[in-house]
Structure formats: C-alpha cells, structure tokens
Structure 1
C-alpha cells in the first residue's frame, strides 16, 4: 500500500494506482475529459492536471502513479488557472452553440466549463468546418470534436474494428474515418460505442424525429408503431420511471395521444422467432450436416459486424 496526502487528506491506496483514481477513491473530484480507465489514459486534454510538491510542472493525474509520501494539490490557484486556460483553448476550437447540441445538459465539457466559471473566450475561435453525410445512421460533427481520442481507443481496444484514426498534424489534428474512408464504406457496425463514450456532441445517432412528426401531421398517412421487447424493458429508464411504473400500456397510451393510428407489440412475434430458430437448430443437428452452433441476432449492428468481419459464417 502507498500513503499520500491529497488536499490535506491522508489517503492510502494500492501500488500502481494513478493520482486520479486515488483522488476519486478518497472522494475528491478531479475533472477529466479524455480519461477512460484502462482504455484511454493518454492525458490529451490536460484538464486533470494537479500540483505535486517537489515537482516544478503540473502533471496529468490520469497517467501518473502515486508514490509514498506524495503531497498532491488538486485545487490550488495554480491548478485552477492552468485548468481554466486549457479548457478555454479547447473551447477555441469547439462549436459552443450549446442550445442546438444534442448533448446540451449532458455534456462533460459544458459541465467543466461552467464549474470553472468560464464566461468569455479570450482566444480566437478557429472552429473546423462540418462535412458529413446526413444519411449516415452515425453523425459526426467535426466542429464539436475536442480530439480526446476516446472514440479511437474504444473502437480499437474494445470493439476491435479500428474505424477511427487521427488525421492531420499540429493545430489541424482531428479525428476521422481511418484510411480516408467514408463511414458508409468502412467496416463500422454502427454499434454506438463511440457515441456513448464521446464526452461532447461530436458523435451522435441520426435523428429522424421530424420525419415521424411529419407523418403524424399528414392526414393521408396511417402511422404504425411497432414496439420491440428491448424498448418495452428499457424505455422507463430514459423517462426516470421505476420498473413497476414503466408499463407497456403507458407507451401505447402516449403514442395514441400523439396521433399514432396503430400500435403493435413485437413481444409475441419475438417468442415465435425464438421457437423457429430453436426448431431450425434442432433440424440442422439431426441432419448431421451442420455440426456447429447457430448464431442469430435481430440487432443490425451485430448483423453488419458478422457480414464485414466473418462473411464466411453469414
């Protein structure tokens, strides 16, 4: 075990623990943008900098290991000044039109900027242009990218698809589809992990809400909604409802009030699908021709992944 002091608090942690993890274990908040434990610990954003007694320069807490007797200051005037400057520099290349951003209210950069009381931009704004196909189910807004590299690392180390890569050098450095590909021509399975781990609004799913409302407003159209089992089980979480309150009947009632003509539940059809798939597996095994497991999924990301990575098994 290693003993150290963080903001005057005596802390004891295991060896090889980072300063950031030690602080969080002690209940001391150190902000970070790019950090993902065991996945992205490159200290790119420099927001998690701390002051260590005996060390001249501030150091990033996400990739520096604690040592015996270390004295750390996470909120000294020097730390606050440098941290605020680093965030202001990030904002100078970031489209800060928060009211039109999908992540407004749920954005790590927005939260940190507010916590640091950033009310003006002292640096010249140099926001890169936004060019992306609106037809793609995955939308990337280059004007919001903060080059944290989270999307690259999660795709490389977890999904193992290597869709994203660094492009350009110096101030022109950005993230784009690897090998100069278009996203629709790449092996991207559209699993959404890069969207989930993006701390800002640079990555998002395509929003077809307006098409749905346009259909509701068209008197010549019959609007049909079919609710999948996954939606039945998870919709309440998004609405802040308990599992008991998130009854599927409430989905039906809400959709009907919006003007939907017919609402169908896929639950029974999903049960039939399972029965059909089970019967097919038994038939294959009994025939003796296919002595291997049968994989199946109704997830489009899973199907696309199989087709691009294992076409021989399709």
Structure 2
C-alpha cells in the first residue's frame, strides 16, 4: 500500500531550529541543528503539531526562493493566503474543493467537526473561543454546499456504537482495556508501534467516517440521490484526517465515505476567497436530520470529551437510571494522563484519558505486559484534544496558544451546557436513525457501515 505524504518541511525555508522536533510525539523529525530537517513518513502520525509550532519563514523577495505563487500552488493553497509561508506545512485540498463547488452536476455535502465552531472565528479577527456554529453553517451554505451536516451528529452515533461495544467487552472481560479509535493519529501510531495490541482498539470508525458512510447511504436515501453522485467534504481541525479519509477500507458501497478533508484554516481561506463577510452573517441551522446533535456530541472536540460522552450514555444503559451529574469534571483537564474510577451500578469502571501522544507508550507497555488496570482508555494525539489540532488557526506565541486552547475548551463546554439534549442516546434523530435504518447498535447494518479493521504498519510503507 502507498500514500502521498501530507506533512512537509520546505528545505529552502527551514533554519534547523528543531522546535518541530521538540513537539513531535513520535520522534519523526530528523536532522542536525542549524540544517534543514526531514520527516520520517513511516513514523510520522500526521498530527501537524510541527506545522503549528514552526516559525521559520523567509521574505517573499528572497532571490533564491521560488515565487510565492508557485509555493502556494505546490502546497495546494489558494492565492489569497496572506500569512507567511512557513517551513513546516500540510498539503492543502482547498483548490480541489473550490473546483467541485463550481460544478452544478455534483451533489455536495459537508460536515464540520466539533472544534471548528469554537476556532473558525479567530481567522476573522474575533476573540479566542468565539462560538459560531450558526455563522459557520451560513458560510457553508453560501459556498454552495447542498447539505450542511455535522460531525457532532456522527459523534452521537459513535457513542451508541462504542458505548455498546465497551459494555459488551466489560461484561465478557475480553480485549480489555478498550481504547478509543476516534483519533486517526493515535490509530496510525498504534498500527506502527504496537500492531500486536490492535485488538484492544474499539472497532468503531471515527465520527467523521461514520458521518461519511451515513451521508452516502441513509442521507442518499432521504434525498433520493445516488451515492456515486454525492461529493462529501469534511472540515476538520486535524491534518491526519486527510490521511484517514484516504485509507482503503474507508469506503461504502464502492464509494469513498469522505472524498476530501480540509482544515479550519483552509475553510477560512475559502470563505475569504469568495468574499463572504463572515462576521456579519446571520445564524443559520444545520440541515436535518444529519445535522442535529446532543451536547455529548459537541464535547468530542476536547480531551476527555469522548470519555465523558460515553459515560453519560453508558451509565444509563447499564443502570437504567438517570446519571446524577452530567458535568464529569474528573475526566476534564489538560495535557497528560488522567485516571478515575466511576461507580456505575455494581460496576467500578476504571478509566484513563491520555492527552498527548507522547504519553501513550507507557500505557501501551502495561497493556502488553498484562498489567494495565483500566477498562476504557481515551487517547488523543494533540495536547488538549482536537481544539489544539494541527489544522487549527496558527498561533506563534506560547502564551497565545495556551489562552486560545483554554478559550476554545470553555466554549465547547458552554455549547454542551446550552443544548436541550445532552446525552447521545436521547437525541431524537439518533433514535430515528436506528429505528428507520440501522436497527440496533452493533447490529448487521451498523457493523457493515460503522465499524472497521486496523492495519499492521510496522513494516515501512512505500510513499507515492
């Protein structure tokens, strides 16, 4: 199998400061100080933290450089990008999306991850953590997408599937601990560094891929559109989502579930390119039913969010009683490892949250030794979850970065607290989805569409 590299370091611009190497969680940056760095693509998990931290760039008029326009074209960016061209960058797909949006024959659907609505506004000069789901939906509609759906809806589906899977494993005592499988950078690392432990990962696809599968099946039926005629775009805070959507197994009925992924920054550049006045847009809704979500779906964007959403639903599925408190502070926090014991009826559920991929190897070692005490482990590659993803608005100062992460997390939790429905299993459109289409969690249809297998990547792959 082969794939195109996504994270790059421009040798003409790299100064060899090795700040990128310091933040790489898997030691994939290679080079001597003061000399251009290279990336070990086999080891790289495409998290994009090097892209976020890179400050090396050159003046546009430097004679030894290719012209700015040529570099933008090579990077897959639009000509209207005005920020400096930094040495570390991720491949862009916005030119391809712009071309598809101009094609009236394509039925174009889009989904947006939970972390986008708390960060996109920063690209338009608004304060850190400004919450703009309605303006985001309005902007996407003006970009000529035919359906504005939401990854938050698919996050609710993920909880139905993953929560049921966890309960089954805990009751049987098999393949514990169970790791989350939402973060593609974490999954790629597990496939590369610990393929013998892949049966400990949840078999669930990520919310993005679940959404893509449902848009081209359930959504296609609702709209009376052939799946092959649907072009599905995902807006993500994560550069590794570009890798995930290209995985061979991520297809449904012979079609790719998600055709292209663009980042928060790419969406902002497209909105600016089209002359849309984002700040003065009205608040508009996502399209139903694949755009309606619970508060639990919205907290997937922060570290501990998947765990909290799963416990909200798992508690009630096991005990058949209302969970006493919806705000589970014991799984909320920052970079590092957090652990807790949760009493769910007669079950004492032991959980861990790993925020930052550099912390996971110690946990994997304990799993390999058979000494890991936890039932359920959430892993997010980026330091504070998706709000700190490699495709988010770029911040050059460390103090700025910390303020932004905190504001984005606060906005996510505020969004959750304002939702009328805050548990995935109580989302009316999720209930209808299972009644009309999927049947039941872990059933034949949901297993076919929403679950996957992982790949041993310990042997170095070819780059195309």
**Bigger relative contact order (CA 8 A; separation at least 6):** 2
Taking structure 2 as the reference length, the TM-score comes to: 0.34
Taking structure 1 as the reference length, the TM-score comes to: 0.49
